[in-house]
Amino acid sequence: MKTQIISIREFMSSEYKIEKKKRKKDLSRIAKRVGISTVLPLAFSKPSLATTVDAVPVGATQYIGEKSLEILAHALDPLVELMVALAFPVCSVIIVGSCFFFMLGKSERAWSGIQNAGLGYVLIQILPLLLNVLKAVGDAI
């Protein structure tokens, strides 16, 4: 039996089992594919042409500013809608948890939890209104 020395990489990838001719054949096939895939897009692409930059009209900066402000103003809309939708279930769980404090004899902590949950629920529900007021103030300035 012949002893053969191989690297760990060859052992782990099972390359030592593959014949060298087959490996060379695979490498040539891969080289052809890579060559074709790199040359083909270059061969069929349109040639680039030099162009000049058009001047931006003066009113365009104001339009771009308004559009970017509008995009930023509506970027948080999904998050606000999610908070409004989750406010009632979360508030209900907190109020039920506070009711358990009544049963344990900690009425101050129970009332505090109920008040905080109610205040948080109301503030989250009026959050879209507050954001619209802030946007109107920003537009007025």
Place of tokens 């790199």: 38
The residues, any chain, with a CB within 8 Å of residue 83's CB and separated by 6 or more, are 124, 127
Q: Which two tokens stand for residue 101?
A: 């404090």
Cα 37–chain centre separation: 32
What DSSP element (H or E) covers 36? helix 20-44
Instruction: Tell me the pLDDT of the chain (141 aa) as tens digits.
Output: 677 777 788 778 876 666 666 666 777 788 777 777 776 666 666 666 666 666 666 666 777 777 877 787 778 788 889 999 999 999 999 999 999 999 999 999 999 999 999 999 999 999 989 888 888 887 787
Q: What is the pLDDT of residue 10?
A: 77
